[in-house]
Amino acid sequence: MILVTGGLGMIGAHTARALADLGHQVVVTAHQRAEVPSFLAGRVTVEALDVTDRGAFLALADRHEISDIVHLAGSIPGDDPVAYFRTDMAGLLNALDAARTWAVRRFAVASSIGVYIGRPEIPWHEELPLPAAHLPHLIVAFKKAVEPLVTHALQGTGVQPVLLRIGSTWGPLMDPESPFNPIPPYVSAVLRGEEPPPLHADDGGDTCYAPDAGRAIALLMTAPSLRHDTYNVSSGRPFTYREVADALEAQVRPGGGGAHPYLDISRLTEDTGFKPEFDIAAAVADYVAWRSANSR
């Protein structure tokens, strides 16, 4: 059985669905979010868990035989950065304790495209040395710190770390007014019949539709072997907001600049066979269909 912490969040839920689609038993943890997405109903076991509670975390093994862990649980920073770091560090350390105690096969953890900030090369690939650079958000700072913490904590244990450098992911279950990605708010405004917030047509960069991100993570967790510890998870191609607008125009009203960083996913494709199922047009069409029946 594969454990997905934060498994009712956007990336976690799509990872759990992809694992179930591959025939695996899945247990997901949830803390503040209790509503199970329709595509997971009856397909996974849901455990209410505050991942900062070490005893409760380790007690999962009393009820489930867990072979692998995907640690995606995390919080949103408030005004106190130390409180945020303390909360997410406690969850990470408890997940690592569980991985070591249960002797799982693989331990995957969410890192971020943001670890590459400061590199001028395009696209960003896993062999690039990570620069010391000012980071724009506490979440990115924490995820960059996660990588050496996880690899050192698991060294010599037989548990394989899998560092997931996840690109700019969006899709079903994301907050429709998310401040972290402009696509859902743009779609929301159009669906309400309002003028969407202005975006520069030729801006853009990296993007990954959530079902593709979940499937990529599932393939990394279930591949017979992995040659690396670090993988970019995204679409492997840049996009522009012009493409989003054109795709949305085709859905809502049918008939009617420079290079940007993005993630190289050659390593992911070579080791798992992953290829995105959704280009921008297909992703927008799927998302509009999802939003017609779901608030998130």
pLDDT at 256: 42
pLDDT (tens digit per residue) in 119-143: 999 999 999 999 998 988 999 999 9
Element (H, E) at 272: helix 266-272
- Check whether 223 has a pLDDT greater than 90: yes
For residue 128, the SS3 value is coil
Q: What confidence score (pLDDT) does residue 253 get? A: 57
Tokens representing 157? Answer: 């244990």
Q: What is the pLDDT of residue 254?
A: 52
Rounded Cα distance between 97 and 90, Å, is 10
**How many angstroms separate the CA atoms of 290 and 126, rounded?**
33
The average confidence (pLDDT) of the chain is: 93
Please tell me the predicted confidence (pLDDT) of residue 160: 98
Q: Are 19 and 68 in contact (CB under 8 A)?
A: no
User: Computed from CA positions of residues 55, 57, 61, 62, in that sequence, does the dihedral angle turn out positive or negative?
Assistant: positive
pLDDT confidence of residue 287: 93
* pLDDT for position 255: 46
Provide the sign of the torsion angle of the four alpha carbons 121, 126, 131, 133, taken in this order: positive
List pLDDT tens digits, range 156-193: 999 999 999 999 999 999 999 988 889 999 999 988 88
Distance CA 203, CA 198 (A): 11
Stated pTM of the model: 0.93
Tell me which H or E stretch contains 191: helix 183-191
pLDDT of residue 192: 87
Give the strand order in the sheet containing 68-71.
Answer: 45-48, 26-30, 2-5, 68-71, 106-110, 160-166, 230-233
Query: Could you give the angle at the alpha carbon of 5 between the alpha carbons of 276 and 37, nearest 5°?
Result: 65
CA angle 258, 205, 10 (to 5 degrees): 170
Q: What is the Cα–Cα distance from 222 to 108, expressed in whole angstroms?
A: 11
Per-residue pLDDT of 30-87, as tens digits, reads 997 778 999 999 999 999 999 999 999 999 999 999 999 999 999 999 999 999 999 9
User: Which tokens belong to 294?
Assistant: 């779901």
pLDDT of residue 32: 79
Positive or negative, the CA dihedral 246, 249, 251, 253 is negative
pLDDT in tens, 248-296: 888 775 544 556 789 999 999 999 999 999 999 999 999 999 988 887 6
In the predicted structure, residue 205 carries a pLDDT above the cut 70: yes
In this predicted structure, what is the pLDDT of residue 259?
A: 67
